[in-house]
Structure 1
Amino acid sequence: MHGTIFSLLKRYVQTQYDHSTWVRLLEHSGLTEVEFDHRHVYPDEHMYALVGQAAQMAGVPADELHEKFGEYLVPDLLYMYQKYIQPEWRTLDMLEHTETAMHTRVRAAHEGNRPPVLDVRRVAPDEVFIEYVSPRRMGALAVGIVRGLARYFDEEDRIAVEPLTSENGERVQMRVRLLH
């Protein structure tokens, strides 16, 4: 997983809790010797260890923590990829274009970058169907990102996110609708 995500996880933990919580999280995960740098790619197991330990420390399910972290990521992701985003895009448009506008470029930037494959189809003007495919099984993170996009575009009270399958699978399906 790309180091940027680890850097953002560190900031998330420090923002939601404090720096000492991040240090304890590294210790309990056995990762005190790792210095996460945004220019490198790290084993996925590091993320699993950190999120699993963080969920245990916070007393919440890992999926819930993944969703909250996904929501938190959105402003930074949109900032990083702003040159690929059309100013008129809103939540559904962002979802529809994420794979072609951003994920293909992320994969091309470094062979170790493996964002999920998103098959997004606009099934109606106010609805998209998403199939998330990744061996990482982090569909809850994707659900959180969808919710974070809705918040970012000030549509959170008008966007319904409906996971259609378990968020823990390699293939996660969800429906996202704009409510009128």
Structure 2
Amino acid sequence: MHGTIFLLLKRYVQLQYDHSTWMQLVTNAGLSTDNFSHREVYPDAHLFALVGQAAAMTGLSPEKLQEKFGEYLVPDLMYMYHKLVDPDWRTLEMLEHTEAVMHTRVRQEHTGNKPPVLDVVRVAPNEVLLTYVSPRRMGALAVGIVRGLATYFDEEDRIVLEPLTSENGERVQIRVRRL
């Protein structure tokens, strides 16, 4: 997993709770450091350990935590990739173009980067079918990112998400409609 995700997770925990909570989370996850670099790629197991410990500490499910973190990520992701985003895009268009534009760039920047594969099909003028494919099984993060995109584009009251499969599978299908 790319180090940027760990740095954003650290900031998320510190904003939602505090620095000591982050340090306790790292300790409980059995990690030897919390000094992640945005230039490095870290084992997925580190993120799973942190999310698992966060779930234990908060009483929330790992999937719910992933969703909340996904929502939180969007403004930073939009800032990082703003030069690649067409100003006319909104939630559905962002979903349609993420794989070809943003994920392609992420994979080119470092061969260790392995974002999920997103297959997005426009099934109607105001509806897409998003298929998330990743051995990480973090479809809940994708659901959170879609919600975060809807908020970012001020469409949260008009975007309806309907997970069609379990959010913790390697292949997750999500119907996204604009009302």
Normalised to the residue count of structure 2, the TM-score between the two structures is 0.99
Amino acid in structure 1 at the alignment position of 2:164: L
Q: What amino acid does structure 2 have at the position aligned with 1:126?
A: N
1:35 Cα deviation after fit: 2.0
Opposite residue 4 of structure 1, the aligned amino acid is T
CA RMSD of aligned residues (A): 0.7
What is the match of residue 7 of structure 1? 7
Paired residues of 2:131 and 2:173 also in contact (CA < 8 A):
yes
Matches within 5 A, 1:125-140: 125-140=125-140
Size of the alignment, in residue pairs?
179
Q: Secondary structure at the match of 1:122?
A: strand
Q: 5+ unaligned residues in a row in structure 2: which ranges?
A: none
After the TM superposition, which residues 158-177 of structure 1 pair with which residues of structure 2 at under 5 Å, given as runs? 158-177=158-177
- Identical aligned residues as a percent: 73
Partner in structure 1 of residue 31 of structure 2: 31
Structure 2 residue identity aligned to 1:69: F
Kindly provide the amino acid, as one letter, of the partner of residue 40 in structure 2. H
Q: Within 1, Cα distance between the matches of 2:102 and 2:94?
A: 10
Structure 1: where are the runs of 5+ without partners?
none
Tell me which residue corresponds to 2:97.
Answer: 97
Query: How many angstroms apart in 1 are the aligned matches of 2:34 and 2:161?
Result: 36
TM-score by length of 1: 0.98
Residue deviations 1:1-59 (CA, integer Å, cap 9, x gap): 00000000000000000000000000100113352111100000000000010011011
Runs of 4+ in 1 over 4 A off after TM superposition: none
1:117 alignment partner AA: V
Cα deviation 1:96-123 (Å, max 9, x = unaligned): 1000110011001100000000000111
